[in-house]
Amino acid sequence: MKYFFETYGCQMNKAESSSVEQILIERGWNSVENPEDANLVIINTCSVRATAETRIHGRLGWYSALKKSQVKQNKNPITVVVMGCMAQRLLESLKKQFPVVDYVVGNFQKPFFTEIFEAVENGRKVNQLDETPVYSFASTSYEQGSFSAFVPIMHGCNNFCTYCIVPYVRGREISRSPKDILSEIDQLSAHGVKEISLLGQNVNSFCWNETKSISETASEISAKSCDDKIILFPQLMKMIAEHLKKTNSPIKWVRFMSSHPKDLSDELIKVISEEEVLCKHIHLPVQHGSSNILQRMNRRYTREKYLDLVKKIKKQIPEVSLTTDILIGFPGETEDEFEETVSLMKEINYLAAYMYYYNPREGTPACSYENQIPMEDKKRRLAKIIDIQQEITKTEMKKQLGKTVKVLVENVSRDDESEMLGRTSRDERVVFKADKSLIGSFVEVKIESLNGNTFKGCLI
């Protein structure tokens, strides 16, 4: 049996695709490069932006034509499964709109994949999936042969930002057992993995109550009353760092994403500064530079509080690199409020930023807000901040010239087969002359020049 995977969206989607793929591999299935050669196609979808769903619509149209062609040629047609956030948002309506889809598997129906795979193997069909919501963390998201891996530690979001659909398609926050997290890390260590990224819709609201053996949210438990039985994100990070040392693990770098500024604590900053294994890079989505817009977004911090947090981080972790998300064109955004975002960017000097303009998501409060910004204004404002960030990025990267840095070698450069591409702890890309036998290894590289947003260096 052969399968083909398409994954769209965030790192969590990539991790979940890998975990589902492991089930197929264990059952003896083989991956193929072309969907035309597959018995089964799985499309893992995203709903964060309308453009992501539009792409899926196009792909489903393509698969519909492929399936019709296979039927005409008396071939066994592919089985098409749609999973992920778009599947959760639309559920049965997606199947009605696109009859090519055989199964729609929402975010709380993943335990039923085994039943689907078994049915495909035996040439039969599952009439209806159990609709009882269930969420369970996969034992591993490891991709065979990979030296970097994602480790989901929590799922869902309780924040309800007014523009965001994630809480509606991912559900409430559920934290994973620290014991299971460490168990997966041990599995990854046995596979020779060198770097892991802890994942969650809001990792720094992780909270596990050992006494109850259940997940709770950080907002339900005051950090001040935290005891040995309650594990919050800083304690989890410390626990992981100590475990890696104790087991002499090959994993030397630990990253995390995504984090919400309102939950990034002083204790977490301290742990990152003290533990060498924790990468000195923090993705800290600000979304906007105006306190008024932040309030209307329901972000639960002000411009001033965010700036104070950044000052704390930079003071305790001088070598830190900060990246962010910026959303412009939110309903009612004035030119002055937009300029507040520009000034915040210039004050903080992010190494990089993911910048996008607001597009309404059905079912979110902001979708019905008055004073929607015209598309031409959103595009103009977005173009301006992209230009500004490009200059800031160039200036920040130039500060690293002449330094010798630790690099994890990732792959062969696409531009020159004699060069390797690697990444630093600060999440910067570096190319340098080296043999491909070093892929998956840590090396020392002296940074000599800058080409676009990539360093060129010399292997030490």
Spell out the domain ranges in the chain.
2-121, 137-279, 287-399, 404-459
Per-residue model confidence as pLDDT tens for the chain (460 residues): 999 999 998 899 999 999 999 999 999 999 999 999 999 999 999 988 888 899 999 999 999 999 999 999 988 899 999 999 999 998 878 988 999 999 999 888 888 899 999 999 998 888 777 666 667 788 888 888 899 999 999 999 999 999 999 999 998 999 999 999 999 999 999 999 999 999 999 999 999 987 665 555 554 544 444 455 789 999 999 999 999 999 999 999 999 998 999 999 999 999 999 999 999 999 999 999 999 999 999 999 999 999 999 999 999 999 999 999 999 999 999 999 999 999 999 999 999 999 999 999 988 999 999 999 999 999 999 999 999 999 999 999 999 999 999 999 999 999 899 999 999 999 999 999 999 999 999 999 999 999 999 999 999 9
291 SS3 class: helix
pLDDT of amino acid 139: 82
CB contact at 8 A, 387 and 344: no
Q: Which of the following CATH numbers is that of domain 2-121: 3.40.50.12160, 3.40.50.620, 3.90.550.10, 3.40.1350.10?
A: 3.40.50.12160
pLDDT of amino acid 224: 40
What are the backbone angles phi and psi of residue 162, rounded to the nearest 5°? -70, -15
Any idea which residue has 């932006």 for tokens? 49
CB-count exposure of residue 213 (10 Å: 0-12, 13-18, 19+)? exposed
Return all residues near 241 (Cβ < 8 A) that are at least 6 apart.
254, 271, 275, 277, 278
109 DSSP 8-state letter: -
pLDDT of amino acid 258: 86
- Round to whole Å and give the CA distance between 192 and 185: 11
One-character DSSP codes across 2-51 = EEEEEE-SSHHHHHHHHHHHHHHHHTT-EE-SSGGG-SEEEEEE--SSHH
User: 3-state SS of the chain: helix, strand, coil percent to 5?
Assistant: 40, 25, 35
330 SS3 class: coil
**Which of 149, 150, 152, 50 lies closest to 110 in space, CA to CA?**
152
Tokens of 142: 């490891």
CB-count exposure of residue 287 (10 Å: 0-12, 13-18, 19+)? buried
Q: CATH topology for 137-279?
A: Transcription Regulator spoIIAA (3.30.750)
Domain 404-459 is in which class?
mainly beta
367 SS3 class: helix
| Biggest CA pair distance of the chain | 68
**421 has which bridge partners?**
411, 431
| 48 CB-side CA count, 13 A | 13
- Round to whole Å and give the CA distance between 169 and 46: 10
Give residue-wise pLDDT tens across range 181-240.
Answer: 999 999 999 999 999 999 999 999 999 987 665 555 554 544 444 455 789 999 999 999
Tokens of 349: 């000097």
**Which of 286, 340, 341 lies closest to 313 in space, CA to CA?**
286
Tokens of 19: 């975990």
**Which of 432, 430, 433, 435 lies closest to 452 in space, CA to CA?**
430
- Round to whole Å and give the CA distance between 70 and 72: 5
Instruction: Specify whether the backbone of 84 is left (phi greater than 0), alpha (psi in -120 to 50) or beta.
Output: left
pLDDT of amino acid 222: 44
pLDDT of amino acid 38: 95
- Round to whole Å and give the CA distance between 360 and 373: 11
- Round to whole Å and give the CA distance between 411 and 407: 12
Give residue-wise pLDDT tens across range 81-105.
Answer: 999 999 999 887 898 899 999 999 9
CB contact at 8 A, 85 and 47: yes
Q: Do domains 2-121 and 287-399 have the same CATH topology?
A: no
- Round to whole Å and give the CA distance between 239 and 29: 36
pLDDT of amino acid 345: 98
**Which of 256, 275, 273 lies closest to 320 in space, CA to CA?**
273
What are the backbone angles phi and psi of residue 339, rounded to the nearest 5°? -65, -25
pLDDT of amino acid 290: 98
Q: Which of the following CATH numbers is that of domain 287-399: 3.30.750.200, 3.30.365.10, 2.40.128.110, 3.40.50.920?
A: 3.30.750.200
pLDDT of amino acid 397: 97
pLDDT of amino acid 283: 97
- Round to whole Å and give the CA distance between 60 and 151: 30
290 SS3 class: coil
